[in-house]
Amino acid sequence: MIELAPNHKYGLAIDVPLMPASGAFGYGDAYGDLVDISGLGAIVTNPISLQPRQATQGRRIAVHEDSFVVHTGWPNPGARRVIRDYGATWERLTVPVIVHLLANHTSEVARAAALFSAVPNVRAIELGFTAAASRKRAVELVTAAAVEGDLPVIAQIPFDRVDDLAPYLARQGVDALTLTAPPRAVLPVDENGEDPGVARFGRGRLYGRALFPLLLNTLSRWAVKLPVPVIACGGIASPDDALACLTLGAAAVQVDALLWRDPSLLDRIARALAKPRAAYPAVTHLLSPNEPETEENV
């Protein structure tokens, strides 16, 4: 049993330290015929806002080798419609549901958190911040979700804001942290030979194997220092990747949009994590053989 909200009155206990990341698994039923959901620790929903949001116009994805960027605008039907369409499904699931809320406006987050807290088997709220969110705004959003929703609150930290936001929010009452939300990036667009000589690029959230060593660096610097559980997310593409994150101190892992290419990845990781947590190896060395140990690189 892994406790992801040890300081919350209700807690958030999961049996397996594994879940899909927000945006990778729909609202809980998209992969029901491909993934054994009972083998997961929880599911995390697609991002949801209080009011409906439309998809962005134009090109939404650019692929370059093993990486891809996605820009969708986080379309969703709004909190009330999601509850109407999926509330009964969530209640039937054998694992907890973590609702991912788009954290833009304090009042909307508060109202949405209150709605979802009344839905059976919704056990926590994960807040997705914009990269521009100030410390003050982030705390206001966490507080709004916690007070109005009365559920554990997980903060998904933008990739380039970990040093700034993660330790601050951990001291300000957030129950757990997801490290990290995918960074923004630009990739060239493959037009299959159309319009030769015209360069096109796609901008959006970056996914792919290249994120994994950056995730490990983040975990090595923060996972054991923070006073709340850390959920690792970014480029995890194998059972060994997941085990490496847990070894570096993550309490659980999320598998992101790489699931779109290989939904069976969740089942393979779940089998690898079935062994007792005590069996995971301990970190013995993070430095190259000749690198001196300093405060900066520990």
SS (H, E, C) 141-195: HHHHHHHHHCCCEEEEEEHHHHHHHHHHHHHCCCCEEEEEECCEEEEECCCCCCC
CA 187 to chain CA centroid, Å, is 22
The pLDDT of residue 188: 87
The pLDDT of residue 131: 87
User: Could you tell me the two tokens for 268?
Assistant: 């393979």
The segments of the chain whose pLDDT lies below 50 read 278, 289-290, 292-298
The pLDDT of residue 201: 86
- What is the C-alpha separation between 249 and 17, in angstroms, rounded? 12
Class of domain 2-54+73-185+205-279: alpha beta
Single out the residue of 45, 8, 61, 51 nearest to residue 228, CA to CA. Answer: 8
Residue type present at position 41: G
- What is the C-alpha separation between 85 and 98, in angstroms, rounded? 16
The pLDDT of residue 297: 45
The pLDDT of residue 98: 98
